[in-house]
Amino acid sequence: MYDENDATGLAALVAKGKVSADELLDEALARVAARNPAINAVVLVQEDVARKSIAKGLPEGPFRGVPFLLKDLGAEAIDFPTHNGSRLSANTRYSYDSEIFKRMRATGVVTFGRTTSPEGGVGPVTEAAVYGGPTRNPWGLAHTSGGSSGGAGAAVAAGILPMAHGSDGGGSVRIPASSCGLFGFKPTRGRFPDGPAAGEGWAGMAIDGFLTRSVRDNAAMMDACAGSDLGAPYVAPPLENGYLAAIQRPPRRLRIGLCDTNFSGQPIHEDCAEAVAKAGALLESLGHSVAPTRPDADHMGMMRAWTRIVACGGALSLQQAVARRGKPLAADDVQGIARGALAFGQTLSGADYLAAVEKIHSYGREMARALQPYDVLLSATLAEPPAKVGRFHHDREDFEAYRIGKGGVFEYSPFCAAFNASGQPAASVPLHWNAAGLPVGVHLAAQFGQDELLIALCAELEAAQPWAGKRPDFA
């Protein structure tokens, strides 16, 4: 029963009285005990909080009674302290619940803990020292589950629960989705609330999201969370009918641009190119028009700007954490990349930061023009299959080279951050597994505000080539 149903299906069983919320929580906790030691994905378990929420009476939402986990970064909640992936911020407690957490809780989920994240949410892997070791991929334990929502991806892929909270500032939902054979969706900039802790994350590039097995689970949770909060600096165009309504019918026949290289024209791994080609053929078989393209925009300029903005954001977070603690930063408080971000951020002036923000906004205009001939842009999610654990470790301090240098993060993940910078909606869809049995996601992006069109296409692909039954042998 637990494995045969997505979150929506489990909630339906609860509603019919065929299983209780306590029984589902029992199963999730048993799976944490049995499976988490191998993958290191769940970092905090608050069973008492979860039991009390059930006893109090859960909201009558679409996921009433379904076990749920928060990412150990953001989503501030009184009952769920965080490490934020850092020894410096270990066991941070909050005096308030964030707006996004309130909306998630209102769906009736039973939140019982948090999942791992790299320090500061930076990087395509989850290897934070505060958790005592890396988070591993259930499809291959030598490989990363991705980042920064790597714990969420690993927990869902391992069957601990059907969906989990994540966030995405440069691919941090879509990278784990691709790495773990799951569905991940980054909505249009400003679709979800950031308050009250922040007005924006990383100049508006960061946004919450979810790792799910099914498109409908993601759609229902996004519907529940959509809408700005009071005083939000960014407001997304309103949805016409909502995500869940959009997936009830196939999309119109779409113009799809296919890019089987990276956006600058360099080749990608043959497994990823094969995934794109097969996805293109599937889309053509569904009646869509598919044509080769490569978006004409200053991609390297965007990557440099993204790196500067995130370095400044990381420096600010560290400075705030040090101030709260009331004593100077020690060498072992943070990992190398965090120290590198702080050092690099301190070399940048206010003018440098504003120039970087202007650059991502100009890049957004370039990408809007590039997508004008198309409804959707198809590419790989990553330029390679899931990396080996340790390849992007966080012990090095050369933050700029780590991101944009040779062999760096942007060579591995050249697609995702583009749509954080542009604000356009984007998704990773699990349509391909390579000969080694590792998931290889395909990436779909739409024009600004066209979330409903994009998720309708994702649902059409899910119906044409179902993926929910594909599970790792790990369990």
> Active-site positions?
71, 148, 172
**Residue 30 CB coordination number (10 Å):** 12
Helix (H) or strand (E) holding 181: none
Q: Residue 258: is it exposed, middle or buried by C-beta count within 10 angstroms (0-12/13-18/19+)?
A: buried
- Report which of 429, 386, 404, 437 is spatially closest to residue 174, judged by C-alpha positions: 429
Q: How far apart are alpha carbons 257 and 241 in whole angstroms?
A: 26
Q: Which of helix, strand or coil describes residue 245?
A: helix
| Long-range contacts from 12-19, C-beta under 8 angstroms, 24+ separation | 14/64, 14/65, 14/66, 15/64, 19/65
Q: Report the chain's terminal Cα–Cα distance, integer Å.
A: 15
Please tell me the distance from the alpha carbon of residue 118 to that of residue 130, in angstroms, as a whole number. Answer: 9
Name beta bridge partners: 45. 113
Query: Comparing C-alpha atoms, which of 268, 270, 302, 297 is closest to residue 411?
Result: 268
Q: Count CB neighbours of 277 within 10 A.
A: 15
Q: In 113-181, which residue ranges form alpha helices assigned H by DSSP?
A: 150-157, 174-180
Helix or strand or coil: residue 157? helix
Cα separation, 175 vs 452, whole angstroms: 21
